[in-house]
């Protein structure tokens, strides 16, 4: 698979600041939804980058440093649980990605977006299903977003040790539900989500 196929086409058409966008944390019960935007340097492409979910923890950490060093531009942005509760997780995810395009110095001229939809924007863009495995720019963004969010949740675990955030980073797990049942919700939980017990969750999922 040529994970630069989309970028090469756009570079050949004269686009020079192609930003890959991805987010992590949509399915979590707690913590922010985090997005990253990466503009690769066409003259210095990191090798071996792929979807963050396909990489080990040590590989993600290594690639994070490589991406930040070699990229023309990168940024990590987020929307907090209260924003998620206010506008819903889909719109919060899109908002976090949009914030990446609006940062000082970003100035993208084309967007490659993971998924099948994106909000209104002044920039030309393309949504790519499974883009984090098909586009190197999106894959790079997925790595930065995941490393940032995982580190954030692991740090929050030190203050809130009852939910297993050091391992589940906010996703629904038995330990997370047990913590909710015994200790209740925190300011970092998404109140608009169904914060049920593990048994209720499994029954609902069938």
Region 3-17 average pLDDT: 97
Please report which confidence band the pLDDT of residue 50 belongs to, taking 50, 70 and 90 as the band edges: confident
pLDDT at 202 over 70: no
For residue 161, is it within any domain?
A: no
Its domain, for residue 23, covers 5-152
Instruction: Report pLDDT for 13.
Output: 98
User: What's residue 163's pLDDT?
Assistant: 97
Residue 116 lies in a domain: yes
Task: Please spell the DSSP secondary structure of 43-107, one letter per residue.
Answer: TSPPSS---GGGS-HHHHHHHHHHHHHH-SEEEEEEE-HHHHHHH-HHHHHHHHHHHHHHSTTT-
With respect to residue 184, please indicate whether it lies within any of the assigned structural domains: no
* Separation CA 83–CA 95 (nearest Å): 10
Contact 7, 42 (CB under 8 A): yes
Does the structure show a pLDDT above 60 at 76? yes
Apex CA 124: angle with CA 12 and CA 92, to 5°?
Answer: 130
Rounded Cα distance between 65 and 100, Å, is 19
Would you say residue 164 lies in a domain?
no
Q: What is the CATH number of the domain that holds 35?
A: 3.30.420.10
Residue range 184-204: mean pLDDT, rounded = 76
Q: Are the C-beta atoms of 127 and 117 separated by less than 8 Å?
A: yes
pLDDT at site 22: 97
**Confidence category of residue 161, pLDDT binned at 50, 70, 90:** very high
pLDDT at 195 over 70: yes
**44 has pLDDT over 70:** yes
- Based on the structure, what is the number of domains in the chain? 1
Q: Is residue 167 part of a domain?
A: no
User: Which pLDDT score is estimated for 121?
Assistant: 83
Token digits for 56? 């080990």
Is residue 5 scored above 90 in pLDDT?
A: yes
In a domain, 188, yes or no: no
Question: Integer distance in angstroms from the first to the last C-alpha of the chain?
Answer: 36
Q: Is residue 170 part of a domain?
A: no
Query: 75 lies in a domain?
Result: yes
């Amino acid at each position: 698979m040529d994970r630069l196929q989309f970028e090469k086409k756009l570079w050949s058409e004269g686009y020079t600041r192609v930003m890959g966008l991805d987010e992590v944390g949509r399915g979590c019960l707690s913590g922010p939804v985090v997005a990253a935007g990466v503009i690769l340097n066409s003259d210095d492409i990191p090798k071996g980058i792929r979807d963050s979910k396909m990489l080990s923890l040590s590989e993600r950490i290594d690639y994070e440093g490589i991406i930040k060093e070699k990229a023309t531009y990168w940024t990590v942005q987020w929307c907090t649980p209260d924003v998620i509760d206010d506008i819903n997780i889909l719109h919060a995810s899109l908002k976090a990605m949009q914030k990446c395009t609006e940062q000082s110095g970003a100035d993208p001229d084309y967007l490659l977006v993971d998924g099948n939809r994106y909000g209104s924007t002044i920039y030309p863009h393309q949504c790519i299903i499974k883009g984090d495995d098909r586009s190197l720019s999106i894959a790079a963004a997925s790595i930065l977003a995941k490393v940032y969010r995982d580190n954030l949740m692991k740090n929050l675990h030190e203050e809130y040790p009852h939910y297993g955030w050091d391992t589940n980073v906010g996703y629904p797990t038995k330990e997370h539900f047990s913590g909710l049942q015994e200790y209740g919700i925190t300011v970092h939980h998404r109140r608009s989500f169904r914060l049920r017990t593990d048994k209720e969750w499994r029954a609902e999922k069938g």
